[in-house]
Structure 1
Amino acid sequence: MTQKPLFAFIVCMLCYLLGGTASTLMSVYLPVAIPELLQRTPTEQELGEIGAYLSSSSIFGWMIGGLVLGVVSDKIGRIKTLAFATALYGFFTLLVVFVHDWQVLLIYRFFTGMGIGGVLLVSTVYISEIWKENNRPVILGILAVAFPVGIVLSGGLNVFFDYWKDAFWLGILPLILSVITLFFLPESEKWKQMQRLDNQIFKSLFLQENRRSLFYGSAIFGSVLVGLWGIFSWLPTWVQSLLGNTSDGQTERGLTMILLGVGGIVGGGLSGFLIQKLGAIKTLILTFAGCILACGILFLTNTQFSKIIYAEMAFLTLFLGISQGALSSYIPALFPVNIRATATGFCFNIARFFTATAVFFVGNLVSFFGGFSNALLSFSAFFVLAIIATFYANKLNES
């Protein structure tokens, strides 16, 4: 292995990591950012509705970035697209420092999500094309762990910066990385050899034998993603609601985001060993059941904040982390090799459309269910759907 692939991996990992931070930074600061932008204290329902708009906007952008910039990278190259996507989320993260109303923030979060969606896809494809085959799965696993590390960083920034806008100066770093990417990273030789997509791939994608796998793959990943983001995006705000007026919540919200990231890191690392021991189907079903149990414990037993919540959140985020690692292995295996990358990208990004749509209604759910606890608990129902879809997908593969 030459020094160039190693340097390229480090740059891609930093782009990936900061994408994790940029994607979650607004969630951790939401309870203090919205009152400032509104110039008044919002009701719980208002906070839920505005937060839902912001989360949905980001995820819609993520979906479009994953779909559109993936195609763009096949046309103009991995490096140019990766540099553009990194600059995109860095620029619009930086603009938050100067925002004065939440409607403009909505636009900024969309383009931030678009850049992050592009970075996660293109960096993974790029590293898979330049890295040696014998240890490629290991290096891609390390790359994936960078995202939850970025989530931990967002929690750390919340603890470090008292004023929420100061944390968004973080956007300068992706802008610097985009310049390094454009001028110092080598283009993929495999992309140079295959600059045109084979249209036969898209024809094969929707053949009868693959349509069911596309449906079940999208259903499983989509259900988990809706449950994960519906809960994940709102945990800091839920913590703040339990604190009431007893604390400004800065430390508690920061520790919440750190736990979310740590759960992703540990769970993602365990997922491969669990699949080797139990198999993919048993691992997924047990993991989804664990998510349901953890949600019940967390949201049904706490009416005010106490330190036990940290342990219960760690229990939940461990299962969420395992689910993401296991799905990254399971979903591609549903498809034949010749369409595996295209089909997996389809499942992942179509799922984000449903996720953004579901998260959009969190504000209404807060009002309907009478508070954040019941609203977030309702999202655990999507893990039940994931179990059902996994069961039927397994039946399809056995037949």
Structure 2
Amino acid sequence: MKAIAWHGKHDVRYDTVDDPEILNPRDAIIRVTSTAICGSDLHLYDGYIPTMQKGDILGHEFMGEVVETGPKSTLKTGQRVVVPFTISCGKCYHCSKHQYSGCENGNPADNQDISREGMGLPMGAAFGYSHMTGGYSGGQAEYVRVPFSDFGPLVIPDDSIEDDKVLFLTDILPTGWMAAENAQIEPGDTVAVWGCGPVGLFAVQSAFLMGAERVIAIDHFPRRLEMARQFGAETVNFEESKVAEALWDMTGGIGPDATIDCVGLEAHGAFADNVIDQIKVSTFLGTDRAHVIRQAIMATRKGGRVSMPGVYAGFVDKFPLGAFMEKGLTLKTGQTHVQQYLRPLYTAIAEGKIDSTFLISHRMALEEGPTGYQKFHDEQDKYTKIVLKPGTSAKAA
């Protein structure tokens, strides 16, 4: 079959690879009908995530049709399914607490030691996202093996709901929703969101749905800021305004009630701390550019809440721990417990309460995946979200 494979920094290829096979009784094989390039995939593209190996198949946002099942799978051939990016068994200690991204059984035992030293405990598993998270082949492919298929995938029973409406249930819609949920939004709150990429825009939508009175979106791409304004957000362009001063003025000197970092380890901007971080990263003295989480902590009002869905990979310095403690802030973060949100968010989409298709700027054939990565990386204001369509020609997509 064909798939998009990682071969190094800024080097992804449309390769011929082995077809997936049923390995465990709870497995299923899915023929992929739609898959997307995620902002988190750009961390792989930029070489920031360790334990990638040449030939690893990328992609953790995908859906498709069931074509084969193991004897303990509850899926049936021919069903359309959305597959969460988190690989979770549904039966372990963490799954019993609905902490699905912390599943103890998703990450194979021979991969668990990879993350134990850096993270304290083995990481949960995910599709197409390094051997630290299990080494699973991803869904930017014609076919993919789905472990624990009796628990994770959501069957889409209504054939009239096209892929585009439900594809983002795999990751970015639940991630934006959980980001807002972790901010513990109360009616009347002012919420500041850093980053108007896909997760940030879903966090903006979700914050309003959860009762926020004002949402302030921070970015520097004009189109992304305009998309945030279409949902009712006020905006700050960090290239034109000093964010801390703008938030101070916009909140009457109090600060936002809650802040959400949807940027993560690759913060942009010519800020002193960010420049220092960039130098450290380029000389292998550091891993993350943590400007946004520092700024969010400094901006949040006393007694406020900080939510951090943005991905970080390692250790950061100059962390404002004193401000965090003295202001009595709360920080909630983590990979998304996708399975917890699948059904309610699917219902909201089916009832027309949430629109996810607004993000899609480009559709491409799977063979165009390498070009898609380059465009999404270099032209983020124009390429807001790319959906890849296996089985179609470049012209048809």
> Do these two structures clear the TM 0.5 threshold for a shared fold by scoring above it?
no
TM-score relative to the length of structure 2: 0.28
The structure, 1 or 2, with the larger RCO (C-alpha pairs under 8 Å, 6+ apart) is: 1
